[in-house]
Amino acid sequence: MSRLFQPLQQRGLQLRNRIAVSPMCQYSSVDGMPDDWHLVHLGSRAVGGAAIVFTEASAVSPEGRISPQDAGIWNDAQADAWARIAAFIAAQGAIPAMQLAHAGRKASTHAPWRGSGAVALGDGGWQVVAPSALAFDDGYPLPVALDAGGIAKVVADYRAAAVRAHAAGFRIIEIHAAHGYLLHEFLSPLSNRRDDGYGGDFAGRTRLACEVIAAVRDAWPQDLPLWLRISATDWVDGGWDIAQSVELARIAVRLGIDLVDVSSGGLDPRQAIVVGPGYQVPFAARIRREAGVATGAVGLITEPAQAEAIIAGGEADVVLLAREFLRDPYFPVRAARALDARLRVPEQYLRAWGTGGD
């Protein structure tokens, strides 16, 4: 039997297979509101057989958006708009999931196809925040270092967003602490130069992430899974690295994290990444082995046999695909055929895909 198509139990949820749609920013919202684009984009991947369909990185506050066009979950109107999307995903047999995020010093920037760098205050931009007053790169906004009140607000915003996400019908939450966004900025000594209790040594730099995890876990139902996305390494000497990631994962498990979604990079433009198929999978395998936690593998996973090998080899418990799902919303159907596995498909598609599924 294909390991990729074996169910996975996480708390009170059972995943129908090990394939998840990774969070992918769409830069298609107005005032943080999801719309018909999000319904069709996410819904089609649920129809295609994924076990989990993640929203894009959904901002927990207006200042937490990457761009003015990012979706959010900081008010009830947004939660109401997300609710019909979550309901449709669930109706297709997939688990609706939301990634909660704060962009930190990489906020108030242009959508990729609209340019790069900072959006000016007069053009809809805003003052960005970070652990320290260090810009990501030339042309990016100069952040203001968060004070104690600002840090407390971040924790409260994550907690409130989790409550809204549950009310909207989402059944997995992922806390985004990767790719150079706010929580990752606190983790890395390259971006965190604080000399208070939220900086300095490993305990100080991980404090905010731990407080957010604890707050969200407290607000999130105990029978539902909570995930954490991290960058396993900054790919820069002296930065956040895999050894620190393993230790953070061990702490996160004790705080109630059920799976660590393992990516890398995004914090520093000096990063030197050797990219190739499955290049981040060894990080997921090491964290799974040494921290004793379920992991998700990401990064240039494009072929069914490759995904099967990752799961069968015990390198990760779930594979999360992004660009491949943009190219092929029905990747799970293709994978099931290639691996001689069964996958139930919508009744409306049985004429094309076979009786009862493929």
Active site residues: 181
Find out whether 59 and 71 touch, Cβ atoms under 8 Å. yes
Biggest CA-to-CA distance, the chain: 64
Q: Are 187 and 206 in contact (CB under 8 A)?
A: yes
Q: Beta-carbon neighbour count of residue 352 at 10 Å? A: 9
The one-letter code for the residue type at 115 is: G
Q: How far apart are CA 34 and CA 182, in angstroms?
A: 22
CA-to-CA distance for 267 and 236, rounded, in angstroms? 9
Category of 189 on φ-ψ map: left (φ > 0), alpha (ψ -120 to 50) or beta? alpha
Q: Residues in the chain, how many? A: 358
Beta bridge partners of 109: 118
Q: How far apart are CA 54 and CA 216, in angstroms?
A: 17
Ramachandran quadrant class, 340 (left: phi over 0; alpha: psi -120 to 50; beta: rest): left
> Is residue 350 helix, strand or coil?
helix
Residue 48: Cβ-neighbour burial (10 angstroms; 0-12, 13-18, 19+):
buried
Q: Phi, psi (5° rounding) for residue 320?
A: -115, 120
